[in-house]
């Protein structure tokens, strides 16, 4: 059966990228190799550790009752609140014991194909640097707080951990079909901004939601956004917003359901039928949708970020 990934592809070494694949040109710093890994994790100053602690405390005011239980359990299993930026080696040892994953430091956003390769090997690349007090509320590039606090707890869930690995393998197939944009939408609406049903209530498991206080409230409770049950085919045709709150969130029933929906799909067929650009606007509700809440889109209609609109 054709699936999400190339069955014959080996990821033991970084595979050669097909020559006709377009990827964003990123300048590799001189001190990192082809794998983009930092030789070691940064040593953080006391001020930087305090930034982690303050970000951690702020999120913990907001997340109980809003974050998925798998996330909260992951935070506890890895003891991420013990003070200061976590030590990657120590955290990886525990994570390896739980699900066979590790966390590796990278200097900045890394090229897609290298990112996919690390995921395919159950390595999660995390930004080495931490934001400053000046950029405490919003940063464009994911830092160690977003990457470790937001993403790593979910990697303690065995099914979600498998999904992430499959996603990495799937990236190589998407590149060959030149459909990275579509696969990127799946990442966005699950790994970054995913919601899950727990006892009929939505909870967040996406790192983009969990690493910021405003979106954590907005995604779970606000009346503006749509909340729609995840359908992989539909999500991969849907545009998304990078630098503002999402007009639509997609909801899964369980991580098993997410895993099954992706791994059992014939991605070759899907990529052949997907147009190169998105079909649906990020606020659209379409006929096939199973809608949990239809949003008012008030926040978006009032102008979103930069307009002083309340995230209601």
Residue 144's SS3 state is helix
Residue 296's SS3 state is coil
Could you give the CA distance from residue 108 to residue 260 in angstroms, rounded to a whole number? 32
Question: C-beta of 12: minimal distance to Fe ion in Å?
Answer: 26
Could you give the CA distance from residue 213 to residue 62 in angstroms, rounded to a whole number? 6
CB closest to Fe ion, residue no:
207
Closest to Fe ion by CB, 142 or 225: 142
Interface characters, 138-157, with Fe ion (x: CB under 5 A): ----x---------------
Question: C-beta of 285: minimal distance to Fe ion in Å?
Answer: 26
Interface characters, 239-258, with Fe ion (x: CB under 5 A): --------------------
Q: Which of 207, 228, 245, 270 binds Fe ion (CB under 5 A)?
A: 207
135-143, 221-229, 240-248, 267-275 -> range binding Fe ion (CB under 5 A): 135-143
Given a contact cutoff of 8 angstroms between Cβ atoms, the answer to whether 114 and 35 are in contact is yes
Closest to Fe ion by CB, 180 or 207: 207
Question: C-beta of 147: minimal distance to Fe ion in Å?
Answer: 6
58-66, 110-118, 207-215, 292-300 -> range binding Fe ion (CB under 5 A): 207-215
Question: C-beta of 200: minimal distance to Fe ion in Å?
Answer: 28
Closest CA to 218 of 198, 187, 254, 246: 246
| Beta bridge mates, 238 | 280
CA 193 to chain CA centroid, Å, is: 7
Question: C-beta of 142: minimal distance to Fe ion in Å?
Answer: 5
Could you give the CA distance from residue 126 to residue 144 in angstroms, rounded to a whole number? 6
Closest to Fe ion by CB, 152 or 270: 152
CA 299 to chain CA centroid, Å, is: 23
H or E element in which residue 228 lies: strand 226-229
The CA angle 141-144-147, to the nearest 5 degrees, is: 80
Question: C-beta of 288: minimal distance to Fe ion in Å?
Answer: 28
165-173, 203-211, 262-270, 294-302 -> range binding Fe ion (CB under 5 A): 203-211
Q: Which residues contact 87 (CB under 8 A, 6 or more apart)?
A: 41
Answer yes or no whether residue 4 interacts with Fe ion by CB under 5 A: no
Closest to Fe ion by CB, 142 or 295: 142
Exposed e or buried b for every residue in 71-83, given b needs 16+ CB within 10 A?
bbebbeebebeee
**How many residues contact Fe ion, by CB under 5 A?**
2
Closest to Fe ion by CB, 177 or 240: 240
Could you list the residues that contact Fe ion (CB under 5 A)?
A: 142, 207
């Amino acid at each position: 059966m054709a699936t999400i990934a190339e069955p014959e592809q080996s990821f033991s070494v970084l595979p050669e990228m097909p020559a006709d694949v377009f990827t964003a040109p990123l300048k590799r710093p001189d001190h990192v190799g082809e794998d983009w890994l930092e030789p070691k994790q940064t040593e953080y100053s006391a001020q930087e550790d305090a930034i982690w602690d303050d970000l951690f405390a702020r999120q913990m005011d907001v997340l109980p009752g809003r974050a998925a239980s798998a996330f909260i359990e992951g935070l506890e299993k890895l003891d991420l609140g013990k003070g200061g930026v976590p030590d990657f080696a120590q955290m990886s040892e525990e994570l390896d014991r739980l699900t066979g994953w590790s966390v590796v430091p990278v200097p900045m956003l890394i090229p897609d194909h290298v990112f996919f390769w690390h995921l395919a090997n159950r390595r999660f690349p995390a930004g080495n640097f931490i934001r400053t007090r000046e950029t405490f509320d919003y940063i464009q590039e994911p830092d160690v707080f977003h990457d470790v606090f937001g993403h790593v707890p979910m990697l303690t869930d065995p099914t979600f951990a498998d999904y992430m690995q499959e996603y990495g393998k799937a990236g190589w197939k998407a590149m060959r079909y030149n459909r990275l944009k579509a696969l990127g939408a799946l990442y966005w609406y699950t790994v970054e901004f995913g919601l899950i049903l727990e006892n009929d209530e939505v909870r967040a498991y996406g790192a983009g939601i969990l690493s910021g206080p405003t979106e954590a409230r907005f995604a779970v409770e606000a009346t503006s956004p749509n909340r729609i049950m995840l359908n992989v085919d539909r999500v991969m045709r849907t545009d998304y917003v990078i630098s503002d709150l999402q007009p639509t969130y997609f909801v899964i029933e369980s991580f098993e359901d997410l895993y099954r929906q992706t791994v059992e799909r014939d991605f070759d067929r899907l990529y052949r039928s997907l147009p190169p650009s998105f079909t649906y606007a990020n606020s659209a509700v379409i006929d096939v949708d199973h809608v949990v809440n239809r949003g008012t889109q008030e926040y978006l209609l009032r102008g979103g970020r930069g307009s002083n609109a309340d995230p209601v």
